[in-house]
Structure 1
């Protein structure tokens, strides 16, 4: 029998800039999840709501699953979300390009089975210390892993929103999967990047150390908006209790964000914090209307997903043509993005080192998959071993420049600071 239970709260807000909420969140006795939709005109809100519809099936009392079986159930739910997006895009090609992140915590009474794709995050707050459980699948995370930038620099990097992996209708991405053992007194946080993108660990720990899960979730969203978040913000917070110690548990699941859009259409509009504490936060009203039948398509799920997955289906017309068209659109968008990124990189310069000589490089001081994003542009006669240790270290790390003139000015300063060459011929006696 399970020894622990969850007490939870969930909040999602459209924010101060966006017109619609593309986040979806879920909190239940056996599941915590956040999905952040990506796609803009391709309706990321539909992607996140669709994923939550599939993932929420994990919210059921556990059996005697092993760790592998628990993770298998999580992986299966993520793959079913992909399959459902494929079906939606087949039915409506206008949704091509939509995708969503997913951070899933499936609880079995003793531990968590974690599944993660994208840049939403899960945290564990234990004994006053916060620990990030998941690793972002983003371009800036690769730069952090390589030691090129810090976590603080990643928060303001121009490409911080470039996601390398997500649930979409094109590729069936494999989620990160792992198990986390829990203890009574632990507090869990699952959030979209609208929160973790602007709040550092210290600020989140301060908030997580106070109040009930619902209070902490509200305060995290409020603090994110006050910190200048320009995105939708979704936070799910849960406390881990001894099964007999949980006070007044609320076993009703909470669904927030785009997945709860049907309730918004029935009269509740606007951001959560309109009129909260210091008054109107200035967010724009969300767009309440979805395309005809879109929400019905989200909710139209078979009773037995495994049986329906392999059951015979009526043939569809032009299925491959639609998929090829969708693939062509995605490839075209990716090509335009890569071309724009390459064009931008060719206007970037930095001062570095090659074969013991100071060189001006054109491009970005980074690499992806072993491929350098820069190339030597001008070779100078400044030798690295004639510079001070401090200057040589800066050159080896790469000195950023605003443009070519700035890079050349840096080289001139380094040349003036060179130590005089040693006279190896000696002097006459």
Structure 2
């Protein structure tokens, strides 16, 4: 069995506000409602722009799960369109719009929702809310801090947390819904549910045609004292044999601002100034439009790429500053090491960083590494850290004394000919035998075992070359 929609759409500016910031579209395959906000910042432009982009989804060529992908893409394109409009006119900064859309393929529904406009379904006399409000009070209800009844009268019930506003984080809720003949669908702006409870809405939805129901619902809102625009779309899910597909309906700001557009062409969007007056006006004459504050807690995020570049520049500056500080610190350090065969004083730190030289020879000494005792030579080859240049020079002086001590030890242990010792005789040419006297033996004192300077002993100098 093939199903179709029998629909009606109606929008009323209300008894208080001068301009209508709601926009709605109803067609054979798409029901769409957008509630603009921002007051003088052109909320009507935002809602109209969103509707003009998303209405292109009213086609029979998209079915099944593809509807979700199509809805997500269209919402993002509408968001980009709002960003472009703000770039063209900075006075529009702060404008935004809710989006609630039901896409229909004859068998099921695809829902996209962002903001506090609502989607309902009445089935077998029971009214069910399909969308989830992105509002402050709804978050309190979700957390169990207030009841649904308390939310209905909460002073901040109009404060919205998520909205289509040209910023990159405007992602909608998406879901697939079943549908059957006899279902009645409702899309409405917050001007209705903020003043009319679900029982009254359900009673109005129970009887009548879509045309009569939209009139009844808006009448209930106005009689309840609604100071906002009120827009409703009502659609019955019917068997195709009962009725034919109706012509698309465009109401609210999208219809009022569609100047010069014909047929399927996208109308030109013009700016209408003026914010709301009446209930929000103070005795001093200052007009306080509640729409101005609906999502005031959200800071402006225009030129987000510039902000990200700025943040990146700050991070890079911090990294560069930290790197320069670390490099400057390293160049104030000294250590003693080897430079070829000689002892040298280095400035910097003995670390390897690709592409960066962290140390260089500051002073090369005449002290040869091979002249050092074994222990000191191993110290120098592994580098000896110094607190400053003066300390490094003191280390070299100590090494020089150790080398001198080893040189003294070697001199004491090397035998040398004694003065007066006769050289070996050579037989005379005459051939007479020569009688030689035995040499006189003089005891040699053993080498001292006391380390030179109290630090170097004979064993320490074994490796000196």
Q: TM-score range by the shorter chain?
A: 0.5 to 0.7
SS in 1 for 2:195: coil
Q: Give the direction of change, closer, same or farther, for the CA distance of 1:325–1:231 in structure 2 (3 Å limit).
A: farther
* Contact preservation (8 Å) 2:27, 2:249: yes
Name whichever of 148-157 and 13-22 sits farther off.
Answer: 148-157
2:201 is aligned with 1:204: yes
The corresponding residue for 2:217 is 220
4+ long deviations beyond 6 Å:
324-327
2:138 is aligned with 1:127: no
Q: What is the 5 A alignment of 1:371-382?
A: none
Give the one of 160, 164, 181 matched to 1:184: 181
Larger radius of gyration: 2
Q: CA deviation at 1:322?
A: 7.1
Give the one of 58, 67, 81 matched to 2:78: 81
SS in 1 for 2:139: helix
Q: CA deviation at 1:325?
A: 12
Q: Which runs of 5+ in 2 are unaligned?
A: 261-267, 273-300, 308-465
Give the one of 250, 253, 278 matched to 1:258: 253
* Contact preservation (8 Å) 2:196, 2:224: yes
Q: Provide the C-alpha distance between the structure 2 equivalents of 1:244 and 1:294, rounded to a whole number of angstroms.
A: 38
Q: Provide the C-alpha distance between the structure 2 equivalents of 1:264 and 1:159, rounded to a whole number of angstroms.
A: 36
SS in 2 for 1:219: helix
* Contact preservation (8 Å) 1:118, 1:137: yes
Q: Provide the C-alpha distance between the structure 1 equivalents of 2:80 and 2:60, rounded to a whole number of angstroms.
A: 25
Q: Which runs of 5+ in 1 are unaligned?
A: 266-292, 298-320, 328-429
The corresponding residue for 1:295 is 270
Give the one of 143, 153, 168 matched to 1:146: 143
Q: Provide the C-alpha distance between the structure 2 equivalents of 1:264 and 1:295, rounded to a whole number of angstroms.
A: 8
Structure 1-normalised TM-score? 0.61
Q: Deviations over 1:95-140 (max 9, x none)?
A: 1111000000010111110000000000000111100000000000
SS in 2 for 1:80: helix
Q: Provide the C-alpha distance between the structure 1 equivalents of 2:89 and 2:199, rounded to a whole number of angstroms.
A: 44
Q: Provide the C-alpha distance between the structure 2 equivalents of 1:81 and 1:157, rounded to a whole number of angstroms.
A: 31
Q: Provide the C-alpha distance between the structure 2 equivalents of 1:144 and 1:26, rounded to a whole number of angstroms.
A: 31
Q: Provide the C-alpha distance between the structure 2 equivalents of 1:58 and 1:99, rounded to a whole number of angstroms.
A: 21
Structure 2-normalised TM-score? 0.56
Whichever structure has more strand as a proportion of its residues is: 1
Highest RCO, 1 vs 2 (Cα 8 Å, sep ≥ 6)? 1
Q: What is the 5 A alignment of 1:304-343?
A: 323=303
User: How many residues are treated as equivalent by the alignment?
Assistant: 274
Q: Provide the C-alpha distance between the structure 1 equivalents of 2:82 and 2:196, rounded to a whole number of angstroms.
A: 31
Q: Provide the C-alpha distance between the structure 2 equivalents of 1:296 and 1:15, rounded to a whole number of angstroms.
A: 20
The corresponding residue for 2:324 is none
